[in-house]
Amino acid sequence: MRSDGTCSSCGAKMRWAISATTGKRVPLDAEAITLGNLGVVEWRGGPPAMPTPVVAVNPTRTLTEYRYLSHSVTCPNAADHRSTKRD
C-alpha cells in the first residue's frame, strides 16, 4: 500500500482517502489495521498500483478487508487542522 506523504504537523506517514458519505478528503494513517474505524468500500482512479480508497465509518467486516484509523484520531496536533465553525 502506498503512502501519500507525511503529516505536516507530526511528520507521521499518512495517505488520503475519500469519504463515501461526504465526498471530502480524509487523512488516514498509512498502514491498515484490524481495528481501524474506517473501512475501504471502493477504490477509485489513479494508476493501477496506487488507487485512492473510498472509506466509510465502520462498514461490515464482510464488505472490506482494509481498515484504517483516521489520522485525525492519532495525530497529536489534530486540533491545529480543525476549522472553527462560523455562527
State which residues of the chain have pLDDT below 70: 1-3, 46-50, 58-64, 82-87
Query: Residue 84: inside a domain, yes or no?
Result: no
pTM metric for this prediction: 0.71
Query: Residue 83: inside a domain, yes or no?
Result: no
Query: Residue 68: inside a domain, yes or no?
Result: yes
State the CB neighbour count (10 A cutoff) for residue 39: 21
Query: Residue 52: inside a domain, yes or no?
Result: yes
Total tally of structural domains belonging to the chain: 1
The predicted pLDDT at position 1 comes to 41
Domain ranges, residue 72: 5-78
**Can you say how many angstroms the Cα of residue 36 is from the centroid of all Cα atoms in its chain?**
10
The predicted pLDDT at position 38 comes to 87
Query: Residue 53: inside a domain, yes or no?
Result: yes
The predicted pLDDT at position 13 comes to 92
Residue with grid cell 491545529, as numbered in its chain? 80
Query: Residue 25: inside a domain, yes or no?
Result: yes
